[in-house]
Homo-oligomer: A and B are copies of this chain.
Amino acid sequence: MGFSFFASRAAARFLEDIRRPSSFLKNLDSSRYEVKVISPRNYFAFTPLLPSVTCGTVEARSVVEPIRRMFEKKGKDVAYYEAECFKIDPTKKAVHCRSAVGTNLDGNGDFMVDYDYLVVALGATVNTFNTPGVMEHCHFLKEVEDAQKIRKSVIDCFERASIPNISEEEKRKILHFVIIGGGPTGVEFAAELHDFLVEDLVKLYPAIEQFVKITIIQSGEHILNTFDQRIAVFAESKFQRDGIELSTGFRVIKVSDDSITVKCKSSGVETLVPYGMAVWSAGIGTRPVITDFMSQVGQGKRRALATNEWLRVPECDSVYAIGDCSSISQRKIMEDISTIFKVADKDNSGTLTLKEINDVLEDICIRYPQVELYMKSMHMVDIADLIKGGVGDSNKESMVVNIEEFKKALSHVDSQVKTVPATAQVAAQQGYYLADCFNKKDHCVEHPEGPLRLTGSGEGHHNFRPFRYKHLGQFAPLGGEQAAAELPGDWVSMGHSTQWLWYSVYASR
């Protein structure tokens, strides 16, 4: 079974560590640094569990971790400021902050914090794609408060539908719950909501059970379209059995206080959907402070703050970024092909033997993960298979390539550059990785553990290995103790026990 993976407690503990939103601070050895934390919320929230908070399956307090409490437990001497960073000034190496605690401050609410190293982990914001009415009328699932508001709002709908003098049509409208966006968050929320209605609310409001409906509006042809197709199909048929309506292929173009205007993507026909409560889970956007910082460092045209593979913002010294606010720009191998050739060509012969290539192969693969991905995708057994492509069908052992042949052999490799997804799993692994680098910085400057430098003049080793995302799978609870999970190594699991196993990893302390 694919799940033996989860069976060991140590594995579970490790998974937990690299999944936590607070993984950077948790893992950082703060005796080596003077740490200052700036956040407008004095807790870390484990956002993947927010859909469960909406329906009371999980208590709000179990998905949050108070920041100060965490430091206290760890015995760490860390300063925390409940404030929002509204500007990063990389030339002065300082951040401008505004107290989040409101009134009564006599103008003292703004302050500056200097840094030697800055770790930007501001997350993303909701992206409404400027759809009119979404901000005003939809709920979101980004913060703990959002989940609590949704819970209250669902119950309010039932109460509203229960007061006298409400027509059946009105009841149907009030009890129509719409989820816009069929990604993991939207799907999990729909499933939680369905269970909450069927197992709980319907008993308390038996008179109006018949008027309740849940709809998922998804612009793509399938829900869960980042998952394996088998999972999407399984989830869709489960939802159909449950009576959850799937409106796939529809784009939301407007939301008013009591209806949603959708447009069929194939026919272009617009329809009005009356609703009682709507949740928008259709996209993430960039925070203004990040947009401003990006334009300062010359990244004005990008959608997220770019870092190199060591999670550092390449344009400025000592600024790192992790999580949904950033994305890693994987270096293309073709940009560095001349340096790579030069480094590999130890005898300066102007050609590379297979041995010379094999000597630097590990470093190349660490630095450019696309090489292995490409070879795997082409079913190549070893590097000789790849190099052959440049020189034609020559004999492996005696193979010698010049720079042009080397370039030709690697010319398609960069097609396999993968973007790391914006998930909590990635953010947590990045935090864990970066703290680890900071902890061993002194040691690694003396004893570099990274690959050969293959860019620029190409001398010596990188201090650290670059960040590498370990995909631990995806999981979608589908309600009624059914769930679907996608695990590394092409495992797909659907059905009853999946959820329990996943949660035991996710939610255990």
Contact = CB atoms under 8 A, between A and B. Distances in A.
Interface of A: 42, 68-69, 72, 80-83, 97, 99-106, 108-109, 111, 113, 155-157, 159-160, 162-166, 170, 174, 203-205, 257-258, 276
17 contacts: A68-B204, A68-B205, A72-B204, A80-B162, A81-B163, A82-B160, A97-B163, A100-B159, A101-B163, A102-B160, A103-B257, A104-B160, A104-B257, A104-B276, A108-B166, A108-B170, A109-B163
Contact of A258 (B83, B104, B111, B162): B104
A409 to B, nearest CB: 57
Contact of A164 (B102, B111, B164, B257): B111
Contacts of A108: 163, 165-166, 170
Contacts of A160: 82, 99, 101-102, 104-105
A163 B72 contact: no
Most chain B CB atoms below 10 A, which of A108, A113, A157, A170: A108
A174 B104 contact: yes
A174 B258 CA distance: 43
Contacts of A82: 156, 159-160, 162-163
A200 to B, nearest CB: 9
A289 to B, nearest CB: 18
Given A81-B164, A164-B81, A165-B108, A159 B257 contact: no
Contacts of A103: 257
A68 B160 CA distance: 14
A69 B160 CA distance: 17
A106 B274 CA distance: 13
Given A68-B205, A72-B203, A205-B68, A163 B104 contact: no
Nearest to A79: B162
A408 to B, nearest CB: 59
Contacts of A102: 156, 160
A339 to B, nearest CB: 46
Contacts of A258: 104
A434 to B, nearest CB: 25
Contact of A111 (B42, B80, B156, B165): B165
A163 to B, nearest CB: 5
B276 A42 contact: no
Contacts of A104: 160, 174, 257-258, 276
Contacts of A111: 163-165
Given A104-B276, A108-B170, A257-B103, A163 B203 contact: no
A111 B72 CA distance: 54
Contact of A101 (B42, B80, B159, B170): B159
A156 B83 CA distance: 11
A275 to B, nearest CB: 9
A164 B68 contact: no
A162 B80 CA distance: 8
A83 B155 CA distance: 14
Most chain B CB atoms below 10 A, which of A100, A108, A160, A163: A163
Contacts of A203: 72
A80 B162 CA distance: 8
Given A68-B204, A101-B159, A156-B101, A106 B164 contact: no
B69 A204 contact: yes
A258 B105 CA distance: 9
Top 6 nearest A-B pairs (CB, nearest first) are A82-B159, A68-B204, A101-B160, A111-B164, A101-B156, A101-B159
Nearest to A174: B104
Contacts of A69: 204
A273 to B, nearest CB: 14
Contact of A162 (B81, B163, B174, B257): B81
Nearest to A112: B164
Contacts of A174: 104
Contacts of A105: 160, 166
Contacts of A162: 80-82
A155 B106 contact: no
A203 B66 CA distance: 13
A83 B163 contact: yes
Nearest to A68: B204
Contacts of A42: 155, 159
A29 to B, nearest CB: 21
